[in-house]
Amino acid sequence: MAEAAQWSPACLCVLCGLPAAGKSTLTRRIVGTAAERGWRAAVVSYDELIPEKAYYTEVEEDGLNLTDMHCSWKSYRQAVLQCIEQVLEQPEVVIELPSNPLINGAAWQPCVQALLQPKESHTDGTPLLFLLDDNFYYPSMRYEVYQLARKLSLGFCQVYLQCDLETCIRRNQSRPKPIPVKVIMEMEKRLEFPNPQKNPWESQSISLNSTNDVSKSDIQRVMELISVALGNPLSPAEDNSEQKEADRFKCATSVVHQADQACRRLISEAMKAARENQVPSEHMRVLAARLNECKATFLHDLRKQFLQEVCFLQEEDIGVEQVVKNIFDDKKNEILSQFISNHKTM
């Protein structure tokens, strides 16, 4: 099993929450406090490392598809973790540019400035802290970081910034490049904050209320959390429980993808039926949005139920088409019938 060769104690700290919840602000304060303690801190900002094009969402006739956005980000998130892993596995090499072409090279250099120290500082016991700044709204996103920490025997912890939706939207609007409000609203519906009772691997997690300014006591809590994680690095699993959980996440993602494709076909059929019934174009756009919203909710609930309640099954054992037909198809028909009926009574 690979280990972080020759490094001093290191920790991967995940900062998660809605866009504009205050993660970047908190990161700057953590970096300052870490410097006062003599720690080296590398800020891994996904917004800066991942090209803007990766965040484009697919809009189908005014319908937001957050599932597609999640799938699109996956390869970029994995690329970020691969770069971190390479740095930790090759401490003798100063890596100024990422090895992965998916990552923004210009943004990577500031991330590793803390590593550009004299070689002897790598092994003098000075802690190294990686602050991963992203939304991480699904547990599977955070679990990828946890897996890397286990693989390299690093510390691992999470800080969830809890901020109300209205405040996040207001802060977001003041940004130079604000995120579409629809994206934030959809993300808020699907955000699954750290839950140690459900996921034991999230035991080293705290929640901060960031609606107002984060206090000094909050920073102290974060630093204590990181200190505990640094002092208790993860060990590679001796059994296959981790692999089973990883397989479960992988299977859940595949099931949701298959269900998404089946839902798309049903939506296409519904739109065709609406056109044949001469539903006006302005109502067609509303219908498309309603159907896509219904699909997004169905996929979210399907994934959540699969991970929480269903015992692990092989992918081929799951009748995805039948599940979609039994649940989503009925809701789709109900929405379609409502639109056609309203049109005929006009």
pLDDT of residue 205: 97
Contact 149, 242 (CB under 8 A): no
- The Cα–Cα gap between 60 and 63 comes to 5
Average pLDDT over residues 18-36: 94
| Mean per-residue pLDDT of the chain | 79
pLDDT confidence bin for 257, thresholds 50/70/90: confident
Q: Which amino acid is at 8?
A: S
Residue that is written with structure tokens 């989503």 in the block: 328
Residue type, 87: V
Contacts of 4 (CB under 8 A, 6+ apart): 10, 88, 89, 91, 152, 153, 154
Tens digits of residue pLDDT in 4-13? 444 578 999 9
Does 43 have pLDDT greater than 50?
A: yes
285 backbone dihedrals φ, ψ, rounded to 5°: -65, -40
pLDDT grade, residue 316 (50/70/90)?
A: very low
Under 8 Å between Cβ of 40 and 129: yes
Does pLDDT of 337 surpass 80? Answer: yes
Q: Is residue 323 pLDDT above 70, yes or no? A: yes
Compute CA 144 distance to the chain's CA centroid, rounded to the nearest angstrom: 10
**How many of the other CB atoms lie within 10 Å of CB of 119?**
10
Q: Tens digits of per-residue pLDDT, 100-151?
A: 666 666 667 777 666 655 444 445 678 999 999 999 988 988 999 999 999 9
For the chain, list the domains and their CATH numbers. 10-231 (3.40.50.300), 241-344 (no CATH)
Tokens of 276: 């044949």
3-class SS of residue 198: coil
Average pLDDT over residues 45-53: 73
pLDDT at 269 exceeding the cut of 60? yes
Most confident of 80-89, 116-125, 226-235: 226-235
Q: Taking the mean position of all CA atoms in its chain, how far away is CA 180? A: 17
The answer to whether 131 and 110 are in contact (CB under 8 A) is: no
Residue 245 has pLDDT above 70, yes or no: no
Residue 33 has pLDDT above 80, yes or no: yes
CA angle 111-168-139, nearest 5°? Answer: 60
- CB of 102 closer than 8 Å to CB of 75: yes
CA 213 from chain centre, in angstroms, equals 24
Cβ contacts of 238 within 8 Å, gap of 6 or more: none
| Number of residues written out for the chain | 346
Percent of the chain at pLDDT above 70? 73
Note whether 314 and 251 are within 8 A (CB).
yes
For residue 240, is pLDDT > 90?
A: no
Is 214's pLDDT higher than 50? Answer: yes
Statement: residue 158 has pLDDT above 70: yes
Statement: residue 346 has pLDDT above 70: no
Residue 231: per-residue pLDDT: 93
pLDDT tens digits, one per residue of 279-310: 888 888 888 889 999 988 888 888 777 665 44
Residue 243 CB contacts under 8 Å (≥ 6 apart), including other chains: 237
Q: Report residue 268: phi and psi, to 5°.
A: -60, -40
> Which residues contact residue 164 at a Cβ distance below 8 angstroms, ignoring those fewer than 6 apart?
211
The residues near 162 (Cβ < 8 Å, ≥ 6 apart) are: 17, 21, 193, 207, 208, 209, 210, 211
